[in-house]
């Protein structure tokens, strides 16, 4: 047996080019980006070597913390399996996943790559490194800007990290206790621990939130600092206490980091640290969204191709109406969430070079990011669960990839702020920045140009306006209680209108049909209409799910 093909006995999606088979992704991406990037080489890698590697690391070769060298020196480094290191090198250099936004490309290229990679652990290593590059590229001094090349795969690869979270505060950054003092002209980070520190032991440079001595309490008193692995004297600059034993995301080492007068330099104006940090979180929340989408698509592919081969009650699973209904449900949810996420990237692409104070365009991008992060995470958890169900008992066995994909999906509602945090941040950007006004103006402008589906867009706008009106008629406590419901409604409303926009832009009635199904499912809570069975059969009764595009 060919060793390269053995994994195909455990996966029906393995060995396929995960870009080439995904025609809906190509079309929706092409609409928003104005072109379809050549992602076939990455699609082949993601569908074979990288796909197998993710399972291998999860089952067999998780990162390990190495505290001491053979010479008795404290090193606090992380051992990665050589296959993971080589895969990361290829993603940084050959596939240039982090390079595009800074070297004449776009954020569409970057996030499309995260979607195809669709392993949240590997994607996290790339993302926190990209966040580090982002902050230095925009706000660093000349020396810090000089570090960007290594972080985006030019020359020897360097890894970055973003260490913001502390045990006592979690997502409440204002509760951070880690501080920063100046001693003889050198900034030093002091304090106990950053509790969820991705790339701990791997990072060459870390972005760290810390409160300068004398700065006010709360989030606005935080500065953003760059902390290198080694200080100016070549000594280890911080301690890694331990690595976390996690349910999933095994490929990224996540640990606890202690600072003992660690050398650091501020990034930009130390008084603007919280603004830089929130920008940084926007980068990672979008990455979280595309990681969630990618995991959902991988699980869909596993389930779909399985139903092409498995027979029950005298016919293939894919020929059963209930299975067709489940596949249709998954596909509608994925495509709506994808259209929403790419709209958010489109707005981020327009505004990412802004700095404080920001314009309405930036605040709109931020609002869309909160909405998108929430919607895609909910979609991913649901879709991967449905994929497990379609595989039956096999879906619950950890020897096959769907079980892992569901575990991977479950981090996406938590990472980068859970839904409650996204809802609170949404309230803030609405109340203080009026970002919802820009959003409604944009959606109404699009609706006015629709010929097909204008009634569906009107329904979406009505639901969005009703949700927002419920906030304006409430005090702060009531608004917070219902904020997550509003967040969900806004996500489904924008997703519906974006599907219609894709249909209009491509001249495709298919996406208008998907928009109708999406709106009925998520905005009206209705069962799929009778004609949905014919639609499902058109989409899923043959070997490729791209039929009807």
d(CA 24, CA 546): 7
Q: Which two tokens stand for residue 225?
A: 């600092």
Task: Of 43, 63, 138, 127, give the one whose Cα is nearest residue 92.
Answer: 127
Predicted confidence (pLDDT) per residue in 40-66, tens digit: 999 999 999 999 999 999 999 999 999
Predicted confidence (pLDDT) per residue in 236-280, tens digit: 999 999 999 999 999 999 999 999 999 999 999 999 999 999 999
Share of the chain above pLDDT 70, in %: 97
Mean pLDDT of 159-179: 94
Q: Which of the four pLDDT bands, split at 50, 70 and 90, describes residue 532? A: confident
Check if the beta carbon of residue 463 is closer than 8 Å to that of residue 486: no
445, pLDDT greater than 70: yes
Mean pLDDT of 223-242: 97
Q: What does pTM read for this prediction?
A: 0.96
pLDDT given for residue 23 in this prediction = 92
Predicted confidence (pLDDT) per residue in 347-388, tens digit: 999 999 999 999 999 999 999 999 999 999 999 999 999 999
Check if the beta carbon of residue 218 is closer than 8 Å to that of residue 209: no
544, pLDDT greater than 60: no
Neighbouring residues of 282: CB distance < 8 A, sequence distance ≥ 6: 348, 365, 366, 369
Check if the beta carbon of residue 521 is closer than 8 Å to that of residue 528: yes
Predicted confidence (pLDDT) per residue in 76-102, tens digit: 999 999 999 999 999 999 999 999 999
d(CA 443, CA 441): 6
**What CATH architecture is 160-272?**
Beta Barrel (2.40)
d(CA 107, CA 128): 15
341: helix, strand or coil? helix
Can you give the residue ranges of every domain in the chain? Answer: 16-64+78-138, 160-272, 275-540
- CATH T-level topology, domain 275-540: Butyryl-CoA Dehydrogenase, subunit A; domain 3 (1.20.140)
């Amino acid at each position: 047996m060919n060793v390269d093909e053995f994994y195909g006995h455990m996966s029906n999606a393995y060995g396929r080019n995960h870009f080439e088979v995904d025609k809906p992704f190509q079309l929706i991406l092409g609409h928003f980006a104005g072109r379809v990037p050549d992602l076939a080489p990455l699609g082949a890698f993601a569908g074979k070597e990288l796909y197998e590697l993710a399972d291998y690391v999860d089952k067999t070769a998780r990162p390990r913390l190495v505290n001491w060298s053979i010479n008795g020196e404290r090193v606090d480094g992380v051992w990665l399996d050589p296959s993971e290191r080589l895969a990361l090198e290829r993603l940084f250099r050959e596939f240039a996943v982090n390079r595009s936004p800074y070297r004449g490309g776009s954020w569409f290229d970057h996030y499309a790559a995260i979607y195809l990679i669709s392993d949240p652990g590997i994607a996290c290593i790339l993302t926190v490194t990209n966040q580090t590059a982002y902050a230095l590229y925009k706000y660093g001094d000349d020396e810090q800007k000089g570090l960007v090349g290594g972080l985006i795969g030019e020359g020897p690869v360097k890894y970055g990290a973003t260490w913001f979270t502390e045990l006592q505060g979690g997502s409440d950054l204002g509760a951070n206790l880690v501080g920063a003092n100046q001693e003889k002209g050198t900034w030093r980070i002091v304090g106990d621990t950053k509790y969820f520190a991705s790339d701990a032991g791997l990072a060459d440079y870390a972005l760290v939130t810390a409160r300068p001595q004398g700065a006010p309490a709360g989030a606005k008193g935080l500065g953003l600092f760059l902390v290198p692995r080694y200080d100016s004297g070549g000594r280890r600059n911080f301690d890694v206490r331990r690595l976390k034993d996690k349910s999933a995301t095994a490929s990224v080492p996540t640990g606890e980091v202690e600072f003992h007068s660690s050398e650091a330099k501020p990034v930009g104006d130390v008084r603007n640290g919280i603004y830089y940090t929130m920008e940084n979180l926007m980068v990672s929340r979008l990455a979280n969204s595309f990681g969630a989408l990618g995991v959902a698509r991988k699980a869909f592919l596993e389930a779909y191709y399985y139903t092409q081969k498995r027979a029950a009650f005298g016919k293939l699973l894919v020929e059963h109406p209930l299975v067709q209904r489940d596949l249709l449900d998954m596909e509608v949810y994925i495509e709506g969430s994808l259209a929403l996420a790419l709209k958010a990237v489109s707005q981020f692409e327009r505004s990412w070079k802004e700095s404080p104070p920001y314009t309405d365009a930036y605040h709109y991008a931020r609002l869309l990011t909160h909405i998108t992060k929430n919607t895609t995470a909910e979609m991913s958890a649901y879709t991967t669960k449905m994929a497990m169900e379609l595989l039956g008992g096999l879906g619950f066995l950890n020897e096959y990839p769907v079980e892992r994909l569901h575990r991977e999906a479950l981090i996406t509602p938590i990472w980068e702020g859970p839904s409650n945090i996204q809802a609170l941040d949404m309230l803030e950007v609405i109340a203080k920045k009026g970002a919802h006004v820009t959003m409604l103006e944009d959606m109404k402008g699009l609706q006015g140009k629709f010929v097909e589906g204008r009634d569906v867009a009107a329904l979406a706008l009505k639901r969005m306006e009703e949700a927002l009106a419920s906030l304006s008629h409430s005090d702060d406590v009531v608004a917070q209680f219902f904020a997550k419901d509003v967040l969900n409604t806004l996500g489904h409303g924008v997703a519906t209108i974006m599907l219609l926009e894709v249909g209009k832009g491509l001249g495709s009635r298919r996406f208008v049909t998907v928009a109708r199904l999406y709106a009925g499912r998520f905005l009206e809570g209705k069962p799929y209409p009778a004609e949905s069975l014919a639609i499902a059969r058109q989409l899923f009764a043959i070997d490729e799910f791209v039929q009807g595009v």
